[in-house]
Amino acid sequence: MSEEKKAILELRDVHTHFKVPGGILKAVGGVDLTIHEGETLGLVGESGCGKSTLGKTILRLIRPAQGQVLFEGRDIWTYSRRERKQYTLSVQMIFQDPYACLDPLSVIGDTVAEGMDVHHLNSSKNARAQEILRLLSDVGLDQSHASRFPHEFSGGQRQRVGIARALSLSPKLIVCDEPISALDVSIQAQVINLLKRLQKEMGMAYLFITHDLSMVRQISSRIAVMYLGKIVEIAPSEDIYLSNRHPYTQALLSAIPIADPAVEKTRQRIVLSGDVPSPVNLPKGCAFQGRCPRVCDRCRQSEPVLREVAPGHQVACHLAE
């Protein structure tokens, strides 16, 4: 499906580095990704692997050290001032902490309308008020919520406010940075269903960043697995779960609990040994070599590159076959 749709965002060999005591921290090390119109690309990996840094790079919050971020075919770092302002209309973000991203001194209505006010999108106070109520209704909140403060809401309701604020500018792409990790499991499902419904109605694309492989399956059409700043496997969602090829992906999936006790008891868990190497001083060859149960001499000598092993399925592993 995604191959038939137009690419809305393309990352070409994106590197994002930070100067730290002792050297250069390579948070993102040569990422190539494409997100198509109306699709959801899940980006998963352990904490510290560079997922959020990649999201902030897409949002122009962090400038890449190398590579290009193309939105609808244009490099976002070549934009004029007017084009940068237009880009903020087209690309929005839903943050991880639904409380920290809301102004505790502003009522919810003003928070939702903040972006519209900045871009002067409403012709009158009445039009602004009606748009606020429409957005709150779209995310399942009541009209009375517009005059309340963030501390009066539950975590799930606050996240709905964050979603309404992102939707207020009618974006083409929303970067969802761990949007459900701070929520209870039952609320997580509600937020996922809400995002799916809104995508179906409005047609925007999502980059869904998470460490939860069990939940990302419910919303993503494709999934990219990230390890130490690099994409090690990317494929349609079901292929990641049923025919994965990278040992890191396999280890992540083996950690997902299964509700059936009989199946869970007989299932073999892949426990990774060794330490995660420092992104300041990465080893020669494959960065996963020190933890991989299938490591060989070739892994220690040369770094594997992403290559297609099946239609739409790419893996960065010498032993993918």
Q: Can you spell out the DSSP letters for 221-239?
A: SEEEEEETTEEEEEEEHHH
Domains and CATH numbers, the chain: 2-246 (3.40.50.300)
Any idea what DSSP says for residue 78?
Answer: G
Listed residue (236, 205, 201) closest to 313, CA to CA: 236
Q: What is the pLDDT of residues 114-133, one digit of tens each?
A: 999 999 888 899 999 999 99
Q: What is the pLDDT of residues 146-167, one digit of tens each?
A: 999 999 999 899 999 999 999 9
Q: Hey, how many other C-beta atoms are within 10 angstroms of the C-beta on 230?
A: 25
Total residues found in the chain within this entry: 321
Q: Is the pLDDT of residue 265 over 80?
A: no
Q: How far apart are CA 136 and CA 132, in angstroms?
A: 6
- Tell me, what's the pLDDT at 4? 64
Of 80 and 265, the structure prediction assigns the larger pLDDT to 80
- The rounded radius of gyration (Å) of the Cα atoms in the chain is 21
Burial of residue 20, with CB atoms counted within 10 A of its CB: 0-12 exposed, 13-18 middle, 19 or more buried: exposed
Q: How far apart are CA 249 and CA 235, in angstroms?
A: 11
Alpha carbons within 13 angstroms on the beta-carbon side of residue 139 total 27
Residues 6+ apart with CB under 8 A from 262: none
The separation between the first and the last C-alpha atoms of the chain, rounded to the nearest angstrom, is 25
Q: What is the pLDDT of residues 160-187, one digit of tens each?
A: 999 999 999 999 999 999 888 878 888 8
Name the pTM for this structure: 0.90
Sign of the Cα pseudo-torsion (291, 296, 301, 307, in order): negative
Q: Which helix (H) or strand (E) holds 161?
A: helix 155-167
Q: What is the pLDDT of residues 83-124, one digit of tens each?
A: 999 999 999 999 888 788 899 999 999 999 999 999 988 889
- Tell me, what's the pLDDT at 255? 81
- Beta strand 173-177 pairing with 230-236: unpaired
Q: How far apart are CA 247 and CA 229, in angstroms?
A: 17
Interval 278-287 mean pLDDT: 91
- Tell me, what's the pLDDT at 1? 44
Residue 292 and residue 299 in contact, taking contact as beta carbons nearer than 8 Å: yes
